């Protein structure tokens, strides 16, 4: 046997051993998309060594506290890239964010966190780890619609429950209003929530607007029939208020929507969250909290946060972000006081970019585009991770991370990656290495951006493709940007990037082949 052949066989044997070792660590127990499978083969040995070290660190932490780490996911609303002080905004934008900026200083600031382009889709992505189009729901939901999170989908709460976690949800649910869609039916032990986005909250003001010139809140939709009762009588659509749900016991509507329901929900929820942390800090079971904040939905401005020095008041967005900033501090302080901060991962991300339709009350992004668009301003949002003693402080991380990754990362930290379903594509990647090891240790080198059910853009390494309909005389109709040099997406001429036509075609082709193998969920016909 020649030396060259011996070396080749030895190399193949080493790779086989590495893959075998990865079965319990880096290798996914679930069905990932093909681009990740390809990258995993390339990075197999390196990732296997990383994961062995991560397993050891997590085991030491579990030994110290006698349980798996607690996990808190905070999903903010409509906060654009550049809104926070740590992203070049803050006081410059008339809305200081001192507490979120401190959170960034004490942990990780992600410069390349990607959400979906609007609210319902991002919530589905976080809860299921899948592109929303795969779940059968690819739209923003409104009162009266019957679509929602299918019972067959596996949520992060269901998965963590199998690991012995106590689970709770607070805030904006917005993935279906039927009881079958409710959080207490989707893995959460306890939930206090609203069903909709911010728009129906402003409808609560309309009848009063017809009767008076000045009331609390806003008047964005003067043609609303006048009251929720009028709306139901005219269209047969009931607008629900806030619910309290308990797993196994169902839910009850505890308060109707009113002019100040949204800021009241926020102030009430931080009290509930703090109470929940205090009640479970010493428990033998770890806890998972999903706080979907209503901040920046701009239905009403919280009175106690108006008029602060340095804030753009009476701007609704400014007051709501000030409220949210304070409440994040209260949550982190509670974790510290209860002695569980070192055993609690907290991740804060925004669900999409700003909604400029309500300018000047809306937020802002330094990047091109906003909510509903797949330009960076719509899908690239601020993201922070905080885990004292585990995550090194003061980090700025440029690796790509997706909201879908929160699902899979939670599974890894909780030790239940084997509970992720393998009969469907799970888009989320395990980013524990990025959290624990920092910049350059991400597992994602691509991301697909959907607009509804249409694949509209793809980022691959530093390059981003926007897919346009049709062709130009046989040439592809596309925009291509080097997103590192051109984050504002100003210079996207395809003629300067024709070398990327085939690489993008190939990654899209692999993605679509996996869709053929694992088709998107189709909801029952007649559901609207």
3-class secondary-structure state, position 25: coil
Residue 8 predicted with pLDDT over 70: no
Distances from the Cα of 267 to the Cαs of 184, 320, 325, in angstroms? 22, 11, 12
Q: 477 phi and psi, to 5 degrees? A: -95, 100
For residue 227, give the 3-state DSSP assignment: coil
Q: What are the domain boundaries of the chain?
A: 57-445, 461-517
pLDDT (average), residues 451-470 = 94
Residue positions annotated with a catalytic role: 119, 174
Least confident of 13-22, 404-413, 428-437: 13-22
CA-angle at 62, arms to 59 and 63, nearest 5°: 85
**pTM of model > 0.85:** yes
Spatial separation of the C-alpha atoms in residues 309 and 271, rounded to whole Å: 25
- Type and span of the H or E element at 318: helix 316-337
The whole-number pLDDT of residue 225 equals 85
Name the helix (H) or strand (E) containing 250.
strand 250-255
- Of 125-139, 356-370, 382-396, 412-426, the poorest mean pLDDT is in 356-370
Q: What CATH superfamily is the domain 57-445?
A: Alkaline Phosphatase, subunit A (3.40.720.10)
Compute the distance between CA of residue 346 and CA of residue 71 in angstroms, rounded to an integer.
6
Angle between helix 34-65 and helix 3-22 axes, rounded to 10 deg: 60
* Residue 8, CA distances (Å) to 2, 5, 12, 15, 75 in order: 10, 5, 6, 11, 49
Q: How far is CA 313 from each of CA 78, 95, 472, rounded to the nearest angstrom?
A: 18, 9, 49
The pLDDT confidence band at residue 474, using thresholds 50, 70 and 90, is confident
Mean pLDDT of the chain: 90
Q: How many whole angstroms separate alpha carbon 320 and alpha carbon 174?
A: 19
């Amino acid at each position: 046997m020649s030396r060259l052949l011996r070396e080749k066989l030895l190399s193949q044997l080493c790779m086989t051993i590495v893959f075998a070792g990865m079965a319990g660590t880096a290798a996914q127990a679930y069905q990932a998309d093909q681009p990740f499978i390809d990258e995993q083969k390339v990075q197999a040995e390196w990732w296997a060594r990383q994961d062995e070290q991560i397993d050891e660190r997590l085991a030491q932490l579990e030994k110290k506290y006698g349980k798996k780490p607690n996990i808190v996911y905070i999903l903010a609303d409509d906060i654009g890239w550049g809104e926070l002080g740590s992203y070049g905004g803050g006081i410059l934008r008339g809305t200081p964010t001192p507490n979120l900026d401190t959170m960034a200083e004490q942990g990780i600031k992600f410069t390349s966190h990607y959400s979906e382009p609007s609210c319902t889709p991002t919530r589905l992505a976080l809860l299921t780890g899948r592109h929303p189009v795969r779940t059968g729901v690819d739209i923003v939901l409104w009162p009266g619609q019957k679509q929602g999170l299918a019972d067959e989908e596996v949520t992060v709460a269901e998965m963590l429950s199998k690991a012995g976690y106590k689970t709770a949800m607070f805030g904006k649910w917005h993935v279906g209003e039927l009881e079958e869609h409710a959080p207490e039916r989707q893995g959460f032990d306890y939930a206090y929530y609203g069903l909709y986005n911010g728009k129906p909250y402003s409808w609560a003001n309309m009848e009063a607007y017809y009767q008076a010139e000045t009331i609390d809140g806003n008047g964005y939709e003067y043609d609303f029939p006048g009251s929720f009762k009028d709306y139901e009588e005219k269209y047969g659509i009931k607008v629900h208020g806030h619910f309290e749900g308990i797993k196994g016991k169902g839910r009850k509507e505890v308060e109707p929507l009113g002019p100040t329901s949204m800021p009241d929900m926020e102030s009430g929820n931080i009290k509930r969250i703090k109470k929940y942390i205090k009640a479970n800090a010493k428990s033998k079971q770890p806890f998972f909290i999903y706080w979907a904040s209503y901040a920046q939905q701009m239905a009403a401005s919280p009175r106690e946060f108006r008029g602060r020095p340095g804030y753009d008041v009476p701007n609704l967005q400014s007051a709501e972000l000030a409220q949210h900033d304070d409440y994040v501090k209260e949550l982190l302080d509670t974790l510290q006081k209860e002695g569980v901060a070192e055993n609690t991962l907290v991740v804060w991300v925004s669900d999409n970019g700003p909604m400029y339709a309500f300018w000047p009350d809306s937020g802002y992004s330094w990047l091109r585009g906003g909510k509903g668009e797949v330009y960076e301003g719509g899908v690239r949002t601020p993201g922070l991770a905080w885990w004292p003693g585990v995550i090194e402080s003061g980090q700025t991380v440029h690796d790509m991370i997706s909201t879908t990754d929160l699902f899979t990362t939670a599974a890894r930290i909780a030790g239940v990656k084997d509970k992720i379903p393998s009969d469907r594509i799970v888009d989320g990647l395990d980013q524990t290495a990025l959290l624990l090891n920092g910049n350059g240790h991400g597992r994602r080198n691509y991301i697909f951006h959907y607009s509804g059910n249409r694949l509209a853009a793809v980022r691959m390494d530093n390059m981003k493709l926007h897919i346009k309909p049709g062709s130009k005389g046989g040439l592809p109709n596309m925009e291509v940007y080097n997103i590192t040099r051109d984050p504002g997406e100003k210079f996207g001429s395809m003629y300067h990037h024709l070398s990327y036509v085939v690489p993008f075609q190939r990654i899209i082709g692999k993605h679509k082949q996996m869709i053929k193998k694992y088709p998107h969920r189709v909801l029952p016909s007649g559901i609207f």
